[in-house]
Structures are given as C-alpha cells and as structure tokens.
Amino acid sequence: MKLLVGLGNPGAKYAQNRHNIGFMAMDRIADDHGFAPWRSRFQGLVAEGRIGSDKVTLLKPETFMNLSGQSVGEAMRYLKLTPADVIVFHDEIDLAPGKVRLKTGGGHAGHNGLRSIHGHIGPEYDRVRLGVGHPGHKDAVPGYVLRDFPKADQDWLDDEMRGISDGIAHLVAGDGARFLNAIALRTAPARSSTTAPKPAKAPKPEPEPAPDTRSAMARLMDKFR
C-alpha cells in the first residue's frame, strides 16, 4: 500500500492558492482513477482506491499546512506503513512554474508543511516537488504562495495535473522516470512526425547569358581555335 499526501490548507478561500497545488493533484488522481468519495479521517480528508494492482490511500491534511505532520503521522501509523510508503506532493518555490522533480529524504528547505512531516515521521519519505516559481525576495514568499494561481497559469497547471494522473501508476510502482516522462508529454509534447516540413526556399534563377552578337564566320572560326 502507498499513502499519497497532497499538502495545502483547508477551506474554499485557499483552494486555488499556489500553496494548495498538492491538494489539486490529489483531487485529479481521485477523479480520474475512480477512488471512493472523500471522507474525514486522520485529521484530514481521505479517499481510497487502487492504481494498477496497488492499494492506495490519498490524504489531504486539514490541520493547516504548518501542522501537516500530525495528519500524516496518524495515517501512516494506523495503516501500518513506513516512511518509504509515503509520497508527499507539495509546492516548490525553488522550481519554475510547471517544473516537477522527485526527491527522497534530505532537508525541508524551510517549507513548513515538510518541516512538520519531518518532525512526525522523519525525512525518509518520497516527495513530488511541484514548481510554482519564486517571487524574487524571501520576505515576499508567504504572501506569494497564499495567492491564487493567475489565469495565465491555468493552461500549464491543467496540463501538469493531467500528466500527474497519467503517470501516477508508474510512480506508485517505483518508476519515477516514467512518471516524469508522462508529465513531460503533457506539458511539453513532442511535435508530431506528420507535421508538414516548411517548404524549402526556391533557388535563385541563374542570370541568362548575354546574346552572342558575333558574325557567323567569327563563331565558326572560334570553334577551331
């Protein structure tokens, strides 16, 4: 079994925040893969289902971001899992919008949700880092992540969520490379091989030779030189 955790803050006013991109990923996976309805459990919302042959529990902690570890720790212990069975999806300001990276273990880089999870289960869990960009100055970060994604971001955000859903079976099975490739196929699709190539430029016509104004006798003599 895998426990997939999306980080965010509960309530409608936070739903479209950059900080809630983890919740968005959980919602897309649940909708696309036929999970049971969300229900309250483990200080959060839980949906259960299967991805391939694996049983999977989705969790959206409702403790607010800074206390996410309370919910994650309770769920992990009840389900008799280890940190290696936990995959956390979270916003990442050190990645450009639309970029996705995987990480296992290591520090929390100041992310309060990860800091809380570290405190409850330790650092040795898997993470899906979902880039949201950086405001440019560290003092602006709290306000930045608690603002909604602008309309200009909706296209890549939807493509990224679709890619996560497309590739989630690979991630659950431990194949991170194929998971990332599924996202890339949505966010940066290869150009079709059936696309007609641009027509080649026509060659410049060669200039016509100047007319030969010599007499017939002169042209004949020139042949025998």
pLDDT, tens digit, 9 for 90 and up, residues 184-208: 999 987 665 555 555 555 555 555 5
Within a domain: 196: no
Confidence of residue 60 (pLDDT cuts 50, 70, 90): very high
The pLDDT of residue 221: 57
Q: What mean pLDDT do residues 86-107 have?
A: 96
- CA-CA distances (angstroms) from residue 50 to 42, 71, 135? 19, 21, 38
Within a domain: 149: yes
Domain extent at residue 113: 2-187
How do the residues of the chain divide into helix, strand and coil, expressed in percent and rounded to 5?
40, 20, 40
Q: What mean pLDDT do residues 169-198 have?
A: 84
Q: Considering the chain, what percentage of its residues have pLDDT values greater than 90? A: 81
Within a domain: 212: no
Q: What mean pLDDT do residues 56-84 have?
A: 98
222 φ, ψ to 5°? -65, -30
The pLDDT of residue 189: 78
Tokens standing for residue 39: 């229900």
Within a domain: 225: no
Please classify residue 217 by burial: count the beta carbons closer than 10 Å to its beta carbon, then call 0-12 exposed, 13-18 middle and 19+ buried: exposed
Number of folded domains in the chain? 1
Within a domain: 224: no
Within a domain: 206: no
Confidence of residue 73 (pLDDT cuts 50, 70, 90): very high
Tokens standing for residue 138: 């560290």
Strand ranges across the sheet with 86-92: 39-41, 44-51, 54-61, 2-6, 86-92, 126-131, 100-104
Within a domain: 44: yes
The residues with which 41 forms a beta bridge, in sequence order, are: 44
| Nearest alpha carbon to residue 7 among 97, 98, 115, 162 | 115
Q: Against a cut of 0.85, is the pTM above it?
A: no
Based on the residue annotation, tell me whether 19 is a catalytic residue of this protein. yes
The pLDDT of residue 188: 87
Catalytic annotation, pick one of 19, 90, 111, 118:
19
DSSP 66-115: GGHHHHHHHHHHHTT--GGGEEEEEEETTS-TT-EEEEESS--TT-HHHH
Give the mean pLDDT of the chain: 90
Question: Is pLDDT above 60 for 119?
Answer: yes
Within a domain: 64: yes
The pLDDT of residue 194: 55
Domain at 110, CATH number = 3.40.50.1470
The pLDDT of residue 185: 96
Within a 13 Å sphere around the CA of 207, how many CA atoms are in the beta-carbon half?
A: 3
Within a 13 Å sphere around the CA of 2, how many CA atoms are in the beta-carbon half?
A: 22
- Which of residues 117 and 197 earns the better pLDDT score? 117
The residues with which 57 forms a beta bridge, in sequence order, are: 3, 48
